[in-house]
């Protein structure tokens, strides 16, 4: 069955985007986040960021529960050497939610709604800007992730 392809089979592909998707599908169907290994969490953080940004925008990432993983996602991006995307995520967080990184979803939504009401034009411009810049960084993230996952294949179940 497709989701249960072996890790080595998945990692044998040269398309980092597809590898990330296939590994995240494997995790989604088999395990719970609390039981993920360090490398599996990196897979998940990269996948969730990608999913939220591409399905909506950086705003969607912060206003959904995915934003609860902000610190872990930035750390994961740095671990795989996707520094540009990590920096963009950090910059967007500073703009939208300030310096605090342990905010609940409700707190993030409240801050972002306040920012939007204060200056809707600036808010929307930055949603578009950060979304586009992060999307443009995804190809590098996929490439770096693929290399990282191959080096740490023994940590992916």
Q: Where are the domains of the chain?
A: 7-155
Residue 14: exposed, middle, or buried by beta-carbon count in 10 A (0-12, 13-18, 19+)? exposed
Decide which of 3.40.50, 1.10.150, 1.20.1420, 2.60.40 is the CATH code for 7-155: 1.20.1420
Q: How far apart are alpha carbons 83 and 14 in whole angstroms?
A: 21
* 109 in Cβ contact with 63 (< 8 Å): yes
| Model pTM score | 0.93
6-60 residue pLDDT tens: 999 999 999 999 999 999 998 976 678 899 999 999 999 999 999 999 999 999 9
């Amino acid at each position: 069955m497709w989701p249960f392809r072996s890790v080595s089979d998945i990692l044998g592909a040269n398309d980092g985007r597809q590898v990330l998707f296939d590994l995240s599908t494997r995790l989604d169907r088999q395990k719970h986040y609390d039981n993920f290994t360090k490398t599996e969490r990196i897979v998940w953080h990269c996948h969730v960021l990608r999913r939220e940004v591409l399905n909506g925008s950086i705003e969607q990432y912060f206003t959904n529960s995915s934003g609860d993983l902000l610190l872990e996602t930035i750390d994961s991006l740095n671990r795989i050497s996707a520094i540009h995307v990590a920096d963009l995520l950090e910059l967007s967080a500073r703009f939208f939610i300030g310096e605090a990184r342990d905010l609940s979803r409700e707190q993030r939504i409240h801050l972002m709604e306040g920012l939007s009401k204060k200056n809707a034009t600036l808010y929307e411009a930055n949603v578009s800007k950060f979304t586009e810049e992060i999307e443009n960084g995804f190809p590098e993230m996929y490439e770096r992730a693929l290399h990282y996952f191959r080096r740490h294949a023994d940590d992916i179940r």
